[in-house]
């Protein structure tokens, strides 16, 4: 673990935000770096046993893709979500696939173990996740503690997938033009890393009717704010075309409700891995998020992009 951290810090600038004016590595190309590694870790480094106590078996930590069956197990819905992105990005059978914001590695396992992908790379900012990922990895999987801005692939990817990560790429204090600049840089970076014909499949929560408010949700995701679909569309303009779009908002309300119930059902394990205050914060966050999707303050979208041949 110590060795891994030492390695990681070489690419990351451990503990620095990289924001203009902050200590540490200056932002590349003047692009703000979104939530600081410390802020992201504050969330995900709550501990693997904590998340294992209420997420599904594969530790998927983003919206599932549910069927109409109200009794469908969450494991199946999470697997169907992974397969949706494999299909939308064209990743099946590929040589090289990148997952930006890989969490606990469920997508890399699905790619390698079920879709015959030869080499799958996952980026995370969380040391806890990376330790877990590496402990469970097969030789076809490469997990890196690395900001997407810093990732320099050895060769281009056939497909890129990113689920539930872009929500960390801007801060609540960033003005709209800065947010679009960040998302534009993200699309440029993805386009530059893809082989011709390769696709990016992106899943994110977005604002439908609301905007940032301090509350139960923002307390869980410090220094982070959601995009709007319009910002993503403007940011991708001239770089990538949209080739697939799904609005699956009710799927995230259902996922948050399922997680909240599982957390309540496994309260002893949750408390053994955390404390009463953390349990309550997460219960409140999941209830508020679920309500936010139900009320259409937020949408959950899955969008597939393909780089334009002439940019």
The residues of the shown chain that bind ligand SAM, judged by CB under 6 A, are: 34, 40, 44, 60-62, 100-103, 106, 123-126, 129, 147-148, 163-165, 168
Q: Which of 303, 169, 186, 177 is nearest to 239 (CA)?
A: 186
Q: How far is Cα 145 from Cα 246, in angstroms, rounded to an integer? A: 30
The smaller minimum CB distance to ligand SAM, of residues 34 and 292, is found at 34
Least distance between ligand SAM and beta carbon 268 (Å):
24
Identity of the residue, 7 or 276, whose beta carbon is nearer to ligand SAM in the bound complex: 7
The Cα–Cα gap between 174 and 177 comes to: 8
Chain centroid to Cα 177, Å, comes to 22
Residue whose C-alpha is closest to residue 141's, from 124, 128, 164, 163: 124
The C-alpha atoms of residue 34 and residue 224 are separated, in whole angstroms, by: 7
Residue placing its CB nearer to ligand SAM in the complex, 125 or 236: 125
Categorise residue 160: left if φ over 0, alpha if ψ from -120 to 50, beta otherwise. beta
Q: Which is nearer to ligand SAM, 31 or 100 (CB)?
A: 100
Residue 8 or 158: which CB sits closer to ligand SAM? 8
**In the complex, what is the shortest distance from the CB of residue 201 to ligand SAM, in angstroms, rounded to a whole number?**
11
Among residues 94 and 130, whose Cβ is nearest to ligand SAM?
130
- Nearest partner of 290 among 46, 63, 21, 104, judged by Cα: 63
**Host H or E run for residue 256:** helix 249-265
Question: How far is Cα 42 from Cα 52, in angstroms, rounded to an integer?
Answer: 17
Taking the complex as a whole, the smallest distance from the CB of residue 99 to ligand SAM amounts, in Å, to 7
Neighbours of 111 (CB within 10 A): 30
Cβ nearer to ligand SAM, comparing 102 with 217:
102
Please report how close the Cβ of residue 309 comes to ligand SAM at its closest, in angstroms: 27
Count of H-run helices and E-run strands, the chain: 12, 7
Q: Smaller CB distance to ligand SAM: residue 27 or 34?
A: 34
For residue 153, the SS3 value is: coil
Which residue, 254, 256, 281, 279, is CA-closest to 266? 279
- Residue 140 beta carbon to ligand SAM: minimum distance, rounded to whole angstroms: 18
Q: Are 32 and 170 in contact (CB under 8 A)?
A: yes
Tell me the closest approach of the beta carbon of residue 2 to ligand SAM, in angstroms. 20
Counting every residue written for the chain, the total comes to 311
In the complex, minimum distance from the CB of residue 141 to ligand SAM, in angstroms, rounded to a whole number = 14
- Report the nearest approach of ligand SAM to the CB of residue 31 (Å): 11
Q: Which is nearer to ligand SAM, 4 or 241 (CB)?
A: 4
Q: How far is the CB of 310 from ligand SAM (least distance, A)?
A: 28
| DSSP code, position 28 | G
């Amino acid at each position: 673990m110590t060795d891994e951290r030492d390695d990681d810090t070489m690419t990351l600038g451990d503990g620095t935000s990289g924001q203009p004016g902050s200590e540490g590595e200056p932002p590349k190309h003047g692009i703000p770096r979104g939530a600081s590694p410390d802020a992201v870790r504050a969330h995900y480094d709550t501990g693997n046993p904590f998340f294992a106590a209420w997420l599904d078996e594969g530790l998927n930590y983003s919206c599932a893709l549910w069927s109409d069956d109200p009794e469908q197990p969450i494991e199946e819905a999470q697997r169907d979500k992974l397969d949706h992105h494999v299909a939308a990005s064209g990743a099946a059978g590929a040589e090289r696939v990148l997952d930006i914001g890989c969490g606990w590695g469920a997508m890399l396992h699905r790619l390698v173990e079920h879709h015959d992908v030869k080499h799958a790379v996952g980026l995370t900012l969380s040391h806890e996740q990376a330790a877990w990922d590496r402990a469970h990895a097969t030789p076809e999987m490469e997990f890196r503690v690395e900001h997407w801005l810093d990732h320099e692939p050895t060769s281009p990817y056939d497909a890129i997938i990113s689920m539930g990560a872009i929500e960390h790429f801007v801060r609540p204090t960033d003005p709209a033009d800065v947010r679009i600049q960040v998302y534009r840089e993200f699309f440029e970076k993805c386009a530059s890393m893809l082989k011709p014909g390769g696709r990016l499949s992106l899943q994110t929560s977005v604002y439908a009717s609301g905007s940032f408010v301090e509350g139960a949700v923002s307390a869980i995701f410090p220094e982070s704010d959601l995009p709007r679909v319009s910002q993503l569309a403007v940011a991708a303009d001239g770089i990538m075309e949209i080739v697939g779009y799904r609005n699956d908002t009710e799927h995230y309300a259902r996922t948050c409700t399922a997680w909240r119930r599982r957390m309540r059902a496994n309260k002893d394990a949750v408390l053994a891995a955390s404390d009463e205050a953390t349990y309550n914060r997460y219960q409140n966050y999941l209830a508020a998020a679920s309500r936010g999707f139900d009320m259409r303050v937020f949408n959950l979208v899955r969008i597939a992009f393909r780089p334009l041949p002439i940019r």
